[in-house]
């Protein structure tokens, strides 16, 4: 399906006729729906939907779609987003010393597993500068201390504006991002190296080893002010045994981290993730 | 959601407006859709859909729905099924000597994991007669030999008619069902004790052991005339090692078999499985 | 391997020559080792070993083995257990209202997945009395309240003595067992319906649903005075999605609970689990 | 455990006293065993063992160990290998056009997940020459046709000699290696992009898609003259659905391929894999 598409992500109070109204909006303008998924959270009384249709043959120009849909959405009290598949989102990757998630994301972007530009890499350490340069991304070393955190986050936010960044990926950044930062820039995907909510916070592999678990995991989630408590996008696990020492958990965990983070980033970039409350609907 | 629902399973050549047409049919009669899933197989040029809506408030009587929808479906060249959630399907279970899948299905039915009656159990051995009696099902011992197979399948088909059976579950029946039987009664779910298409046919655990695989599986599929080659509904796997002998594979496999078969039966009974070609769409 | 075997579980401070000393003990008495597994926890400085050998041809009588091995073990400062494979352990199963783990364990015992007797079932509810009677186990209804807990646990301990119970299995007992009870009878395997340490305590499925996790789990562990914090024997997980409501998590979780508990009970009964600190070595 | 170790891989006909004899060999020379695993394949009447001990304090010089152990091994009719942990094996990687397995292996080697040199990369295409150069490996473009295969394999074998290669890794080489090549150089690990024995041969993802499987896999095995039929070292799987087209299977499969191949290569390099018949024992 190489022709460009539009995608609507919609959530609104549940009521009769929602699927019909959404589908009619597209059909009445001669759109060809290629994916339509809906979910009703009965406990929350909420209808959540993702519709993707081909722009070819659609009788509204791109800039006319949002205003036209707003008229549908308003009486439904819907919150919604509109995306075009040929827009190329711009990602900034925040790293610390470890390179596995960074290299993995860059490889996937170059292998066209997702469509995005990666113009900006920020780190509190210098050691991955060479990787950034090799792949043509600008690298900023912004070391964080307790004292300078507010100022440094200001610099980071300025970079996000300057580079027109759509999504920040915390690819083993190992630093807490403040509530203030998130309030200014909420589109942040983080990878945490545990099967949340187990082992939130620091040193999850050490704690998993101490606890003697038989399975370890990794969790990709949107960052929220509360540490490691944001809406979960994706998780996966791998079996471990008494023979695995902390170093083995770290090694096995790295494979989880990069796969789980990559899946989450891809799902986000394909506009398949709809957040409501502290949860996500992930449209497959 | 305890009020009764209707479910439409629809497949037709892909074209513009299908989601709208289906949703409008329900909305125009004041129906409240609670699940709507659609899939397009672009290679096959096929649109496949499942719609479930509450009958409460729907302004067509049950017997009017099919005729009314037929008028929508006909110009779309759609094939479709209509089901009501409060209809209680009648299952016949075919077994051989092993009891684990049979007991598991009975337990799940009694635990209300799915809604069905199990009035009939057929076996080529006598040893599970007591289980059938204990749970109030009629048991027929129909031993199969090369010579009597055609005659015995005739008896089986007569029982299916007599007991008004909707679905046959081959719960480790260990006998090949003939193409002729399937032609007369096609609604048959089989569990095969391997990760198909690996180890189709006899003695899969022995062959898995000989091959030295590190993972074994089980597969639930609709029976077709070609052995172990029908549309797959569900599969699952478990890890094994060099320490596992054939007996261990059999033991571990039993846990897979009962879970995979139970999931498939439940999905079928909830009208979540749509067969096309030799494949299934499983609406989650 | 149907001839009876002896199994030694040994742990001691790590030092040179341990494998040789253990193996020589068996070989010098003409024993044929059929399984020998060793593990060294370097952080703890601990050597842990499991040796199983055939009694046929062994030149020590059963009652001579322990005294003879004690002379080897003493200078090594080893703690150790000796078991014979033809001893049939006696299990008591503690249940609440749910039957799935109970029925599953009974089925596996009858299918000879493990060798044990189940003479005693204890519950704080009456509803599973019929199951106990059907399978020939004595059933005691011992309802627990805050006020009577100490007295009722006294009755339970008396039953354990009376029935010569070797292992208590908490098969969804849904009650906290006191530290005092555990001090008197420490051989208790519990199944907790979450992926520990996530969601320890009450209502794990509800909390998993609220948290929006994408995978749920179950954990079998030895009971210790601290709730859901004992040494983990086995864990497993299953994927869930936004479509799964609490009832679906409970249903999917039941399949995990019975498999994970059964694996743990079998491993324990085969003397494959060695506890040290708050961890286990599980010899495969 | 950073001090160098020696590892013995031993297989011989099963008999009394084998663990003792092996352990005594090491203990009598003052060796400290850090890993000892044994397996008996009762069907094959075979004892298989892996022993690893610290060289520090061992009273035989390295070159004395093999002759001394040969005297133990001879009367046992044992086949055996001796390895030292500080020897750095030399790997040649065979690739076709795809880079994911190659890059992954290089990254893991640089991240010290295993200890090896990668001096040589051979391909039937030119496109990964730059990758080889970037990481300091020599690259040889050896295009294969039906006509030149024998001659080109001769060149390849000459390169293996010239570069003193210990292990060839077929990292998505996509060409059949002849029996003659394997006879001259048997240490070859291949990754096949299916869950063998399902979908051996060409185009496994297309065939998995056609068959409508719900799970796909990858398999790492030693190459043997019969295509995709050699001893399996490691397998893993991932769930797919009707929404996954062939391109999605390929994408998901790549993640499996690189993890499964990396695990197999690491296990091989740590001398944890013992081949017997057409099977492997993988010492964990």
Task: Judge whether C242 and C199 are in contact, CB under 8 Å.
Answer: no
Distances (CA, A) of A20 to A23, B66, B84, C172: 5, 20, 21, 45
- Chain B residues close to D197, C-beta within 8 Å: 198-199, 211, 213
For chain C, what's the residue count? 284
Distance CA C113, CA C96 (A): 24
Distance CA D157, CA D120 (A): 12
Catalytically annotated residues of A = 228
Which of B198, B221, B212 minimizes the C-alpha distance to B243? B212
- Interface check B199 vs D, CB under 8 A: yes
Task: Judge whether B189 and B168 are in contact, CB under 8 Å.
Answer: yes
Convert the pLDDT of each residue in B22-39 to its tens digit: 999 999 999 999 999 999
pLDDT of residue A3: 87
- Closest chain C residue to D19, measured at CA: C23
pLDDT of residue B3: 87
Query: Token pair of B217, please?
Result: 């599986």
Number of H helices, E strands in chain C: 8, 13
Q: What are phi and psi of B236, to 5 degrees?
A: -150, 165
Bond prior to C197 in cis (omega within 30° of 0): yes
pLDDT of residue D86: 96
Q: How confident is the model at residue A284 (pLDDT cuts 50, 70, 90)?
A: confident
- Chain B residues close to D243, C-beta within 8 Å: 39
Q: What is the DSSP string of B99-112?
A: -HHHHHHHHHHHTT
Q: What is the DSSP string of C13-66?
A: E--TTHHHHHHHHHHHTT-EEEEEEEEEETTTTEEEEEEEEESTT-SS-HHHHH
Q: Where are the beta strands (DSSP E) in A55-185?
A: 79-84, 90-95, 117-123, 138-141, 167-170
- Interface check C264 vs D, CB under 8 A: no
Task: Judge whether C136 and C164 are in contact, CB under 8 Å.
Answer: no
Say which of A107, A243, A255 has its CB closest to residue D284: A243
Give the torsion sign (CA, B143, B148, B150, B154): negative
- Interface check D111 vs A, CB under 8 A: yes
- Interface check C36 vs B, CB under 8 A: no
Say which of A103, A251, A259 has its CB closest to residue D255: A259
Say which of B39, B195, B243 has its CB closest to residue D39: B243
Distances (CA, A) of C21 to B28, C53, C57, D21, D34: 83, 15, 20, 11, 15
Q: How confident is the model at residue C58 (pLDDT cuts 50, 70, 90)?
A: very high
Sheet holding D138-141, edge to edge: D138-141, D117-123, D90-95, D167-170, D188-192, D215-222, D232-239
For chain D, what's the residue count? 284
D11: number of Cβ within 10 Å: 22
Cβ pair D38:C34 closer than 8 A: no
Of all helices (H) and strands (E), which one includes residue A110?
helix A100-110
Convert the pLDDT of each residue in C207-225 to its tens digit: 999 999 999 999 999 999 9
Which residue in the block uniquely carries the two structure tokens 């199983």?
Answer: C52
Distance CA B67, CA B71 (A): 7
Which residue in the block uniquely carries the two structure tokens 């997980």?
Answer: C237
- Closest chain D residue to A259, measured at CA: D255
- Chain A residues close to D113, C-beta within 8 Å: 251
Entry pTM: 0.97
Task: Judge whether C279 and A242 are in contact, CB under 8 Å.
Answer: yes
Which of B23, B38, B7, B113 minimizes the C-alpha distance to B72? B23
Which of D238, C181, B252 minimizes the C-alpha distance to A236? D238
pLDDT of residue C2: 67
Contacts of C83 (CB under 8 A, 6+ apart): C6, C7, C9, C271
**Paired residues of C120 in beta bridges:** C92, C138
Partner chains of A (3+ C-beta pairs under 8 Å): B, C, D
Q: How many CB pairs under 8 A join A and C?
A: 80
- Interface check B36 vs A, CB under 8 A: yes
Task: Judge whether B271 and B89 are in contact, CB under 8 Å.
Answer: no
Distance CA B38, CA B40 (A): 7
ipTM of predicted assembly, 2 dp:
0.95
Tens of pLDDT along chain B (284 residues) come to 468 999 999 999 999 999 999 999 999 999 999 999 999 999 999 999 999 999 999 999 999 999 999 999 999 999 999 999 999 999 999 999 999 999 999 999 999 999 999 999 999 999 999 999 999 999 999 999 999 999 999 999 999 999 999 999 999 999 999 999 999 999 999 999 999 999 999 999 999 999 999 999 999 999 999 999 999 999 999 999 999 999 999 999 999 999 999 999 999 999 999 999 999 999 98
| Coil, strand or helix at D95 | strand
Query: Token pair of D56, please?
Result: 């520090």
Chain Cα centroid distance, residue C207: 26
Chain Cα centroid distance, residue A48: 18
- Chain D residues close to A107, C-beta within 8 Å: 100, 103
Convert the pLDDT of each residue in C80-106 to its tens digit: 999 999 999 999 999 999 999 999 999
- Interface check C33 vs D, CB under 8 A: yes
pLDDT of residue B104: 97
Distance from CA of D62 to the nearest CA of C (A): 19
Give the torsion sign (CA, B142, B147, B153, B155): negative
Distance CA B219, CA B196 (A): 6
Distance CA B246, CA B224 (A): 28
Q: How confident is the model at residue A2 (pLDDT cuts 50, 70, 90)?
A: low
Q: What are phi and psi of D244, to 5 degrees?
A: -85, 120
Distance from CA of D275 to the nearest CA of C (A): 19
Query: Token pair of A79, please?
Result: 């919150």
Cβ pair A278:C212 closer than 8 A: yes
- Interface check C241 vs B, CB under 8 A: yes
Q: Which of C104, C166, C228, C244 is catalytic?
A: C228
Report helix angle A18-28 to B18-28, nearest 10.
140
pLDDT of residue D2: 67
- Interface check D40 vs B, CB under 8 A: no
Tens of pLDDT along chain D (284 residues) come to 468 999 999 999 999 999 999 999 999 999 999 999 999 999 999 999 999 999 999 999 999 999 999 999 999 999 999 999 999 999 999 999 999 999 999 999 999 999 999 999 999 999 999 999 999 999 999 999 999 999 999 999 999 999 999 999 999 999 999 999 999 999 999 999 999 999 999 999 999 999 999 999 999 999 999 999 999 999 999 999 999 999 999 999 999 999 999 999 999 999 999 999 999 999 98
- Interface check D75 vs B, CB under 8 A: no
pLDDT of residue D284: 86
Interface with chain B: mutation pick from C111, C172, C254, highest number of B CBs within 10 Å: C111
| Coil, strand or helix at A44 | coil
| Parallel/antiparallel/unpaired status of strands D232-239 and D273-276 | unpaired
- Specify burial of residue A135 (Cβ count, 10 A radius: 0-12, 13-18, 19+): middle
Distance CA B198, CA C46 (A): 43
Which residue in the block uniquely carries the two structure tokens 């394999």?
Answer: D153
- Chain C residues close to B100, C-beta within 8 Å: 107, 111
pLDDT of residue C284: 86
Say which of D211, D242, D278 has its CB closest to residue B282: D242
Cβ pair D111:A100 closer than 8 A: yes
Residue C14 annotated as catalytic:
no
Cβ pair B18:A33 closer than 8 A: yes
pLDDT of residue B284: 87
- Interface check D31 vs C, CB under 8 A: yes
- Mind spelling out the 3-state secondary structure of D171-197? CCCCCCCCHHHHHHCCCEEEEECCCCC
- Chain B residues close to A32, C-beta within 8 Å: 16
- Interface check B113 vs C, CB under 8 A: yes
Which domains occur in chain C, in start order?
5-84 (3.30.70.260), 90-282 (3.40.50.170)
Distance CA B253, CA B194 (A): 8
DSSP B217: E
Cβ pair C211:A232 closer than 8 A: yes
């Amino acid at each position: 399906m190489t022709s460009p598409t539009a995608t609507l992500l919609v959530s609104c109070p549940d009521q009769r006729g929602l699927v019909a109204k959404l589908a009619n909006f597209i059909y009445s303008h001669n759109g060809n729906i290629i994916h339509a998924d809906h979910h009703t959270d009965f406990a929350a009384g909420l209808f959540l939907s993702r519709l993707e249709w081909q722009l070819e043959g659609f009788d509204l120009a791109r800039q006319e779609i949002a205003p036209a849909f707003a008229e549908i959405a308003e009486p439904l009290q819907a919150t919604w987003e509109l995306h075009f598949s040929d827009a190329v989102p711009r990602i900034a990757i925040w790293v610390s010393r470890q390179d596995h998630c960074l290299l993995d994301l860059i490889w996937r972007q170059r292998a066209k597993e997702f469509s995005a530009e990666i113009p900006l890499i920020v780190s509190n350490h210098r050691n991955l500068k060479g990787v950034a340069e090799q792949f043509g991304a600008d690298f900023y070393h912004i070391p964080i201390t307790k004292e300078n955190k507010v100022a440094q986050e200001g610099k980071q936010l300025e970079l996000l504006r300057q580079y027109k960044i759509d999504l920040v990926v915390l690819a083993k950044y190992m630093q807490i991002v403040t509530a203030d930062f998130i309030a200014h820039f909420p589109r942040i995907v983080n990878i945490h190296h545990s099967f949340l909510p187990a082992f939130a916070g620091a040193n999850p592999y050490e704690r998993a080893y101490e606890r003697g678990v038989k399975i370890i995991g990794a969790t990709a989630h949107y960052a929220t002010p509360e540490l490691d408590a944001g809406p979960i996008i994706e998780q996966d696990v791998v079996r471990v045994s008494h023979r695995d020492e902390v170093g083995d958990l770290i090694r096995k965990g790295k494979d989880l981290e990069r796969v789980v983070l990559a899946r989450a980033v891809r799902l986000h970039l394909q506009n398949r993730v709809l957040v409501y409350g502290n949860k996500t609907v992930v449209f497959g």
